[in-house]
């Protein structure tokens, strides 16, 4: 009886930790990092304004934002989806094929088929998303490439 109660308590603690505490911690850490970045930028701007009062603050902030963050183009984001889709598809096949051949990795055949099938489905979804987005965003991709060529 005590083992059943402890098992239920452990499940409840794990669920609360994953569904409540983890998202709160992620949001808190993200907001803390953003606040730290803003504080650093403000400190740099104040120092520059003290040393050079004739500088334009908007221009300085623009240069600080461009240099501190690397902006990914639409094409780079789509290529990341292709990579993710390919990796998920290959991992799913690596799990699915042995289970279909009778080997078991996850305890029984059904678990492996479910896990492998889900990973294959997610990989295919990433690849479909890439091809549909590439077709729909072709104008934006060309405009970004022209803009990058003009900047260089």
- pLDDT value at residue 106: 65
Using pLDDT thresholds of 50, 70 and 90, give the confidence band for residue 124: very high
- In this model, does residue 42 exceed pLDDT 60? yes
Structure token pair of residue 21: 């505490």
- Higher per-residue pLDDT: 64 or 9: 9
Nearest to 41 by CA among 3, 5, 69, 74: 69
Q: Which residues of 8-19 are buried (b: 16+ CB within 10 A; e: fewer)?
A: eeeeeeeeeeee
Structure token pair of residue 24: 């709160």
- What is the mean predicted confidence (pLDDT) over 125-143? 90
Which residue spans within 6-147 are E strands per DSSP?
A: none
- pLDDT value at residue 32: 94
> Which range, of 35-44, 61-70, 96-105, averages the lowest pLDDT?
61-70
Using pLDDT thresholds of 50, 70 and 90, give the confidence band for residue 119: very high
Which residues have C-beta within 8 Å of that of residue 109, sequence separation ≥ 6? 99, 102
- pLDDT value at residue 37: 87
- What is the mean predicted confidence (pLDDT) over 47-64? 80
- pLDDT value at residue 1: 58
- In this model, does residue 71 exceed pLDDT 80? no
């Amino acid at each position: 009886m005590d083992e059943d109660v402890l098992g239920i308590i452990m499940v409840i603690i794990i669920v609360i930790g994953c569904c409540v505490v983890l998202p709160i911690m992620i949001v808190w850490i993200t907001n803390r990092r953003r606040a730290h970045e803003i504080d650093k930028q403000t400190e740099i701007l104040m120092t520059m304004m003290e040393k050079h009062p004739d500088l334009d603050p908007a221009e300085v902030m623009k240069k600080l934002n461009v240099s501190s963050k690397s902006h990914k183009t639409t094409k780079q984001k789509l290529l990341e989806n292709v990579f993710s889709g390919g990796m998920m598809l290959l991992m799913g096949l690596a799990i699915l094929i042995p289970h279909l051949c009778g080997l078991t990795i996850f305890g029984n055949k059904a678990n492996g088929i479910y896990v492998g099938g889900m990973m294959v489905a997610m990989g295919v979804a990433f690849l479909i998303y890439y091809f549909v987005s590439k077709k729909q965003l072709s104008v934006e991709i060309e405009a970004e490439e022209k803009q990058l060529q003009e900047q260089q």
